[in-house]
């Protein structure tokens, strides 16, 4: 066990996982509110504003989750890269979202990025659980 692994803050790692999970829920809401704007559902709601604000909230959650992950000092390069990639996808998602009003075809790219984000985030969740389980096992093992 390396010294850096023993110093990892598992609480920050756990919060990073929770915030990533929260941003996944926001992606689901984004899909519902995006479809709702086309007139199929949720008539009378101000879905454009709700869709935009929840997107900005998801970006904020992903950036805070990344900050918590980095502050946890957990030394798993693959999970760190995935967390950075997830936050980057949120940043990339916001760009086409603001350009959609001027160019209608960008909406298709916006939706595809959302699918990628959701799949990427879902793949991270078991890795978070494995990292937390391994960290808890390390903490409970007696030092020799």
d(CA 69, CA 144): 29
In three-state form (DSSP H/G/I as H, E/B as E, the rest C), the secondary structure along 40-83 is CCCCCCCHHHHHHHHHHHHHHHHHHHHHHHHHHCCCCHHHHHHH
pLDDT tens-digit readout, 2-13: 444 445 688 999
Instruction: Tell me what pLDDT residue 14 has.
Output: 93
pLDDT tens-digit readout, 17-74: 999 999 999 999 888 877 766 666 656 667 777 878 888 899 999 999 999 999 999 8
Instruction: Tell me what pLDDT residue 128 has.
Output: 93
Instruction: Tell me what pLDDT residue 99 has.
Output: 65
Instruction: Tell me what pLDDT residue 6 has.
Output: 47
Write the DSSP symbol of residue 144.
Answer: -
d(CA 5, CA 45): 48
Instruction: Tell me what pLDDT residue 1 has.
Output: 43
Instruction: Tell me what pLDDT residue 78 has.
Output: 92
Instruction: Tell me what pLDDT residue 32 has.
Output: 81
Instruction: Tell me what pLDDT residue 123 has.
Output: 95
Instruction: Tell me what pLDDT residue 56 has.
Output: 87
pLDDT tens-digit readout, 76-127: 899 999 999 999 999 988 877 766 666 667 777 888 889 999 999 999 999 9
């Amino acid at each position: 066990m390396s010294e850096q692994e023993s110093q990892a803050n598992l609480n920050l790692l756990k919060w990073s996982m929770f915030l990533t999970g929260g941003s996944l829920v926001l992606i689901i809401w984004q899909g519902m509110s995006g479809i709702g704007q086309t007139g199929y559902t949720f008539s009378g709601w101000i879905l454009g504003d709700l869709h935009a604000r929840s997107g900005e909230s998801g970006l904020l959650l992903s950036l805070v989750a990344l900050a918590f992950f980095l502050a946890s000092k957990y030394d798993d390069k693959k999970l760190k890269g995935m967390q950075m990639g997830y936050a980057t996808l949120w940043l990339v998602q916001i760009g086409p979202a603001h350009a959609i009003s001027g160019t209608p075809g960008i909406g298709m790219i916006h939706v595809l990025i959302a699918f990628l984000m959701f799949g990427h985030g879902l793949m991270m969740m078991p890795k978070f659980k494995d990292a937390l389980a391994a960290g808890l096992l390390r903490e409970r093992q007696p030092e020799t």
